[in-house]
Amino acid sequence: MAELRSSPPAEPPRYRIETGTRASTMLALGGIAVVAMLAVLPAFAGRGLIQDLIFVFYMLALAQCWNLLAGYAGLVSVGQQAFVGLGGYLLFALTIGAGIDPLAALVLSGLITAVLAVPTALVVFRLRGPYFAIGSWVVAEVYRLVFAQFKQLGGGTGTSLPPSATGGIFGIEWVKTAFELRSPAARDIITYWIALVLAAGAPLMVYLVLRSRYGLALFAIRDSEATAESAGVDSFRTKLGVYVLVAAATAMIGALIYLQKARISPDAAFSVLDWSAYVIFIVVIGGVGTIEGPIVGVIVFYALQRYLADFGTWYLILLGALAIATMLFAPRGIWGYVAQRYNIALFPVRRRLLRP
């Protein structure tokens, strides 16, 4: 029995958990450089390009928000136009009605919407899967019809943002003297910077959420809700948190969109085509459930619109056909296909276990 000595306990192999990749480090540096370059762009670029980029930025931000909701939290909504419209209308109400600076009104719109999103969630969270999708659309319609009742905001025909409400927007005097511009062009530049902040902030927000404990809970719920719950994840609260966060961000984007358009109407602000269908199209073409996907998708969408929108109905038929073809032949989208083929992750959110 003497030889049956207990061997010294083996040193447990030191596992490490890694999330970053070399590509992601390079991307972080590259991303900062791109954002810095875009920030100084108004010094060189014409007004047309600035306006086009504002469109690209807010569509990208909306796509990132929808992707977090549907691609990661499994809440496939066709009613996010509710929050775009809410943000836009709150901005108009706060600037015209209360005379608040548009920039402060934009942030306030997000906060107020976050509060309104809680009772909205309590209604739509009663529904699941396809019922949730339809229910969220009905809720957006309810918001549209309610805002059409406010005579102070133009009722069903809508209203305009008077130049006096935005003429004094924070920082405009500085831009006017620095770039030697008149008010409308200077306002575009300020709007452009806000759009840039939102477009850069949205992927960052998604990334930080997914890297946190919250993100881990979301992945668990997506893969199996019952298992996640049995492991102690509060599925309802996790989803509610994401829903409210996305609603607030979407409302701020909506406020920005209508700050730039300077004209709002219920039909446009709560449009299911503009703020849900096209956004879903962008995310799915690019790759749902990835942070890179919406970036790829918005570039494709912008290119199509820039070069083909003159063809009117044929452009839309092509858009529909492209949506169908993507779903049939590359259901994980363009980025999903590339990432699988070449094994790259620019925004690594998966935790990988490494053995020494």
Partner 1 sequence: MLDWIGTIIQGVLLGGLYALFAAGLSLIFGIMRLVNLAHGDLIVLAAFAILALASWFGIDPWLATLLAMPAMFAVGFGLQQLLLNRTLGRDLLPPLLVTFGLSIIIQNGLLEAFTADSRRLRLGAIETASIQLGGNLAIGVMPLLTLGSAIAVILLLNLLFYRTALGRAFRATSDDLEIAQLMGIDHHRIYAIAMAIAMLVATVAALYLGAGANFDPTIGPARLIYAFEAVIIGGLGSLWGTLAGGIVIGVAQTVGAKINPEWQILAGHLAFLAVVLLRPRGLFPRAED
The residues of the shown chain that bind partner 1, judged by CB under 8 A, are 70, 76, 78, 123, 126-131, 133-135, 137-139, 141-142, 145-146, 148-149, 272, 277, 280-281, 284, 288, 313-314, 316-317, 319-324, 326-328, 331
Query: Whose Cβ is closer to partner 1: residue 178's or residue 309's?
Result: 309
- Tokens coding 126: 């009663």
Smallest separation, CB 335 to partner 1 (Å): 15
Phi and psi for 291 in degrees, rounded to 5? -80, -30
294 CB burial (10 A radius; 0-12, 13-18, 19+) = buried
SS3 content of the chain, % helix, strand, coil (to 5): 75, 5, 25
Query: Whose Cβ is closer to partner 1: residue 23's or residue 138's?
Result: 138
Phi and psi for 160 in degrees, rounded to 5? -110, 155
Cα angle 92, 250, 199 (rounded to 5 degrees) comes to 105
Smallest separation, CB 341 to partner 1 (Å): 21
The number of beta carbons lying within 10 Å of the beta carbon of residue 140 is 26
19 CB burial (10 A radius; 0-12, 13-18, 19+) = middle
132, containing H or E segment:
helix 129-147
Query: Whose Cβ is closer to partner 1: residue 9's or residue 119's?
Result: 119
- Tokens coding 240: 């509610």
Query: Whose Cβ is closer to partner 1: residue 20's or residue 129's?
Result: 129
Smallest separation, CB 354 to partner 1 (Å): 31
Query: Whose Cβ is closer to partner 1: residue 99's or residue 320's?
Result: 320
Smallest separation, CB 144 to partner 1 (Å): 9
Kindly give, in sequence order, each residue whose CB lies less than 8 Å from that of residue 291, ignoring residues fewer than 6 positions away: 64, 67, 203, 206, 207, 210, 346, 347, 349
Q: Compute the distance between CA of residue 42 and CA of residue 65 in angstroms, rounded to an integer.
A: 26
Smallest separation, CB 208 to partner 1 (Å): 25
Query: Whose Cβ is closer to partner 1: residue 64's or residue 191's?
Result: 64
Smallest separation, CB 61 to partner 1 (Å): 21
Q: Could you tell me if 238 and 221 are in contact, meaning their C-beta atoms sit under 8 angstroms apart?
A: yes
Report the Cα–Cα distance between both ends of the chain, in Å, rounded: 36
Of 148, 149, 123, nearest in space to 136 by CA: 123
Query: Whose Cβ is closer to partner 1: residue 70's or residue 189's?
Result: 70
Smallest separation, CB 154 to partner 1 (Å): 14
Query: Whose Cβ is closer to partner 1: residue 247's or residue 284's?
Result: 284
Query: Whose Cβ is closer to partner 1: residue 42's or residue 74's?
Result: 74
Smallest separation, CB 71 to partner 1 (Å): 9
Cα angle 78, 84, 89 (rounded to 5 degrees) comes to 140
